[in-house]
Structures are given as C-alpha cells and as structure tokens.
Amino acid sequence: MMIVPSLSTLASTYLFFLSLISLCLAGSPSPLPGPSLQDSVCLRIAHSISPASEVFYPGESLYEKGIFHWASSSTQQSKCVVEAGTPSDVGIILVILGQTRTPFAVKSGGHATNPGFSSTSDIHISLYRFSEVNYNSTSNTADVGTGLIWDDVYAALESFGVNVLGGRVSGIGVGGFLLGGGYSWMTNQYGLAIDNVVAFELVQPNGKTVIVTNSSDPELFFGLKGGMNNFGIVTKFTLKTHPQSLVWGGSILNLESTLSDVEAATIAFQAAVTDPKAGLIMTYNYVPSIQQILINQLMFYDGPTPPAGIFDTLLAIPATSSDVSTRSMLSLVRASPSNGTDGARAVFQGYPIASLTSSISAVIVNETRFWGTALANKSAVTVSYAMELFLPSIYSHNPDNTAFPPSRNLFFQPFDLEFDVDFHAAARASSAHIREAAIGEGQSELVDAPIYPNYAISGTPLADMYGGNVPALQALKRRIDPQNVMGLAGGWKF
C-alpha cells in the first residue's frame, strides 16, 4: 500500500511529483461513439434490463465513474458501462454475455492493480447500485451491498455501535476485498473478513440468484471464500457484526534519518505485542524526487486508548507529520493517505513473511533503496514495501476450510510491495528475493506459504495462491459454470 505524506515541505514535493505522474501518464479518453456505433451487445442489454439498471456510453459521467480504478493503469475504455441494479438484471446480463461470448468485466470498488481484472475493452459491469447496509440486531449480522466502499459500510453501522471486518484504508470495495480474503484491522481478533461471512447472494453464470450458506452448498460456500469472480457475481454479503467503540490510531510519517529506530521498534512490536486489538502497518516508500525513503506508519487500537507500552517506542520517534487520535473507525480509515495516490500507475505483489527479523528488515530496506534508485530514472515510479504485522493465531478463528488460505496451519503475514505497473519483472524478482532470504535464514515454512490473491501480481500460478485447493476449486468451477461464462471476465481463473 502506497502512502503519501500530507504535511511538510518534503511531502509537498512528493505530492507535486505524484500529480506530475498522473498528468503525464493518464490515459486519453477514446472518441465518443454516435448512437449508430453503439455496440450491439450493449444495446441488447439495454433493451433487456429493468428500469433499475442502466447502460452508459463514453462521455457520460456515470460511464467515467463506472470504469474508474484506484490505479489509472487498471482503467480501460469499455464499449459501455452497465450499472446493474437488481440480481435478476445481473442474471439477464450474464446470460446475454454467455450467449454472445462477449468479454466483460465486473467491478466493485476498482482497487484491483492487475490490469484487466476488473476492466475490459468490451462490456463493463459496475455494481455501485448494490449499496444497501441492513443491520439485524437479533442475528448480529449485517447485509452489505457489494457495490459499496468500506467507508460507507462503517458510516452506516456506526450509530448501532457495531462493525464488520472490512478495509483498513479509504476507498476499497466490498466486493473484491471479501471475495479474496480480507485482512482487516480486526483480523487479529476475528480472523479474515471471509471468516465472518454468513451468506452470499450470488448470481450464478446461468442467471439464477442463490443464497449460498454453509448448509445450502458447503462446496460453493468454501469456494466463494477466496475464489474471487469464478463462480458468478455476488450482489450481497451477510456478515457477522462485532461491538465497536471508538478506536485509536492514524497515520505517522517519518524521514529516513529515523529508519534504524523505526526498524528496531517495529521488530520489537512484533516480538512483544500479543494484544489482538493492536495493529500496525509499516510502509517504506522510496521517493525519487528527494532520494530518500519516507516511512509511513499506520497504527490501530480497537478501543479509545491503547494500553501503555504498545506504541510508545514508535510514537517517541521524531515524526514529520502525525495524525493519531481517538476517533471513529470511519475517521481512522479516512486518515490514511493511501487515497493520495489515486490515479497513479501501480501494481502490487505479495510476499508472505512469517516473522520480521532484523535481517529480513534489512533486506526489505535494501530492496526499497535498490529498486527505488534503479527505477527512478525510468519513469516516475512508485516503489513501496508494506509490512503488515499480524498475530500467529489469525487463521485459527475459522474451523472450516476456505478457498484461501489453502492451509490454516501455516502462519504467514501478507506483506506486499507496490511498483509502477511497467516493472512487473522487477516486482516479481524483488518479492522472490525477500522470500528466499527469509527461507534462507530459517523460515522454511515459507516454501509453502501462499500469496494472497488480492495482492498477487498477474501471472502468478494458481497453486502459489490456492495450493492444494486448486483441484477442488477447478471441479467446483466446472459444476457452477459449465459454459465458462466467468472465463470471459479477467481475474484468477480456475
């Protein structure tokens, strides 16, 4: 996760730099088609859906919103945008796409950093209209529409004093996050976000809507928990809720001069902190314009004040900007500067790490500096390494198997790096280098550790994410989608 400073002179240089990137690299829109050029499949969909759904063409503002992605490199100009409004319309659309064998995309929040995963040059389905949040205080669950971003879900649940497991920064979509796994600020307490899904409202590739639960279809329930868009389009999730008070935390920015103190404090945090309410993401960002590593810390405590001793060492390090306070969950995720890179070109790659030791920390610092300087002159690149620290018990909160992770006995933390999308090979090489270094120093279990599908760079083999679950997921895919309709959409394909 790329982090942008919000204060200080250095930070403004950096922001200026980033806006230059966006100006230079933003794609130019394609010419507007006249009505006669409107695609026949777009027209057929427009004539078949109910008034709850609509089709938009280039030049219309809801077309632009429909194809928008967090990373500009993930946005493509489609022939039209279909804003689906009901599950039955989604079914009608899927049947037309299947019959005409038309490539398409499904987008929720548009945070995919692999080009083509939620974008297309053909038919683009946007899910924004699935935007309801309904809390049921009897069952302690909330129904959450798949077109929302987590900010809106947190806002809707705030007045009930409850929350669900969602994104840790602003703007992430409900859909992709939940179908891939979902590492939340509450993961230390309650597991992955998918461990807290009670039911999926799924429009199957045959156009029929089903409610998938552990008892209705255990295999499909397993497959949807990590299996992304292989089994149809999810329109609603029923999620377990948990009590939510005010939280504590926010974002801190440190200069490279503090790096050794930050490294030591981060390693000490991981070694000592066992309180499941505490969370920390440490990100090293190489900033070419100032030729140094800027450090961003995201801190979290699930309560108004953290107990003494948890964050004190980190807080004592001189910061160039700091926005840490007691606040609502919504305020906390919105404090993160990750939105500042909206529109940048970016690709993620995950690198599982069991334990952040001082030697692995040194390797990560070296990678940040090495690739930051090596790529600096090639384009205005983003080079960023995030260390997402979690407790070893995070996969123990769910007794059932899920598509991801393939094993619940193997602990790994989903560290990730972010490069400019042009540097795929470098991103792969760097992640492989760090993993090999960790295995080399004795973290031998990492040989089998999966890469989180929501962070994995395109081209990653299925087995590297889903391990021994691949055959079961492929068999399930053949049962649910015998015509391979979902194969017409991008993403990880079983």
Ligand X SMILES: *[C@@H]1O[C@H](CO)[C@@H](O)[C@H](O)[C@H]1NC(C)=O
Report how many residues bind ligand FAD under the rule CB under 6 A. Answer: 35
Is 169 an interacting residue with respect to ligand FAD (CB under 6 A)?
Answer: yes
424-440 and 358-376 helices, crossing angle to 10°: 160
3-state DSSP assignment of residue 339: helix
Strands 209-212 and 133-136 turn out to be unpaired
Could you give the CA distance from residue 22 to residue 55 in angstroms, rounded to a whole number?
28
Is 167 an interacting residue with respect to ligand FAD (CB under 6 A)?
Answer: yes
What does the block give as tokens for 315? 């807080």
Say if residues 56 and 66 touch (Cβ distance below 8 Å). yes
- Residue among 160 and 370 whose Cβ is closer to ligand X: 370
Is 386 an interacting residue with respect to ligand FAD (CB under 6 A)?
Answer: no
3-state DSSP assignment of residue 302: coil
Options 82, 112, 267, 298; binder of ligand FAD; rule CB under 6 A: 112
Say if residues 399 and 369 touch (Cβ distance below 8 Å). no
Is 332 an interacting residue with respect to ligand FAD (CB under 6 A)?
Answer: no
Could you give the CA distance from residue 304 to residue 294 in angstroms, rounded to a whole number?
28
318, amino acid identity: P
Look at residue 283 and give the partner it binds from ligand X, ligand FAD, none, a contact being a CB closer than 5 to 8 Å depending on partner kind.
none
The window from 8-16, 50-58, 113-121, 433-441 that contacts ligand FAD (CB under 6 A) reads 113-121
Interaction site with ligand X (CB under 6 A): 136, 138-139, 149, 151, 170-171, 214, 218, 334, 339, 342, 366-367, 370, 373, 376-377, 399-400, 433
Options 338, 361, 413, 431; binder of ligand FAD; rule CB under 6 A: 338
Range 442-481, binding ligand FAD (CB under 6 A): 454
Min dist CB 138 to ligand FAD, Å, is 26
Beta bridge partners of 284: 295, 385
The window from 80-88, 174-182, 252-260, 349-357 that contacts ligand FAD (CB under 6 A) reads 174-182
Could you give the CA distance from residue 339 to residue 171 in angstroms, rounded to a whole number?
7
Min dist CB 176 to ligand FAD, Å, is 2
The verdict on whether omega for the bond into residue 306 sits within 30 degrees of 0, i.e. cis, is: no
- Residue among 40 and 136 whose Cβ is closer to ligand X: 136
Chain-centroid distance of CA 363 in Å reads 25
Sign of torsion, CA 475 478 479 485? Answer: positive
Range 226-285, binding ligand FAD (CB under 6 A): 228-229, 233-234
Helix (H) and strand (E) counts in the chain: 15, 18
What values do phi and psi take at 207, rounded to 5?
95, -10
490, amino acid identity: G
The window from 23-31, 47-55, 105-113, 405-413 that contacts ligand FAD (CB under 6 A) reads 105-113
- Residue among 189 and 241 whose Cβ is closer to ligand X: 241
CA-nearest of 317, 315, 319, 281 to 297 is 281
What values do phi and psi take at 240, rounded to 5?
-65, 140
Is 330 an interacting residue with respect to ligand FAD (CB under 6 A)?
Answer: no
Is 1 an interacting residue with respect to ligand FAD (CB under 6 A)?
Answer: yes
**CA of 258: how far to CAs of 280, 318, 415, in Å?**
17, 7, 21
Options 57, 63, 68, 117; binder of ligand FAD; rule CB under 6 A: 117
Could you give the CA distance from residue 23 to residue 20 in angstroms, rounded to a whole number?
5
- Residue among 98 and 171 whose Cβ is closer to ligand X: 171
Which helix (H) or strand (E) segment is 89 a member of? helix 87-100
Which helix (H) or strand (E) segment is 427 a member of? helix 424-440
Options 3, 5, 88, 107; binder of ligand FAD; rule CB under 6 A: 107
Options 79, 129, 168, 327; binder of ligand FAD; rule CB under 6 A: 168
CA-nearest of 481, 491, 412 to 220 is 481
Could you give the CA distance from residue 208 to residue 143 in angstroms, rounded to a whole number?
20
Min dist CB 112 to ligand X, Å, is 14
Look at residue 84 and give the partner it binds from ligand X, ligand FAD, none, a contact being a CB closer than 5 to 8 Å depending on partner kind.
none
Look at residue 169 and give the partner it binds from ligand FAD, ligand X, none, a contact being a CB closer than 5 to 8 Å depending on partner kind.
ligand FAD
Min dist CB 410 to ligand X, Å, is 21
Min dist CB 11 to ligand FAD, Å, is 18
3-state DSSP assignment of residue 367: helix
- Residue among 33 and 116 whose Cβ is closer to ligand FAD: 116
Options 10, 179, 265, 329; binder of ligand FAD; rule CB under 6 A: 179
Here's the x/- map for ligand FAD, 128-147, by CB under 6 A: it reads as ------------------x-
Instruction: Report which DSSP code applies to 393.
Output: T
- Measured from the Cβ of residue 493, the count of other Cβ atoms closer than 10 Å reads 14
Look at residue 40 and give the partner it binds from ligand FAD, ligand X, none, a contact being a CB closer than 5 to 8 Å depending on partner kind.
none
Here's the x/- map for ligand FAD, 56-75, by CB under 6 A: it reads as --------------x-----
Options 66, 182, 279, 340; binder of ligand FAD; rule CB under 6 A: 182
Binding site for ligand FAD (CB under 6 A): 1, 70, 106-113, 117-118, 127, 146, 167-169, 172-173, 175-177, 179-183, 228-229, 233-234, 338, 454, 489, 491
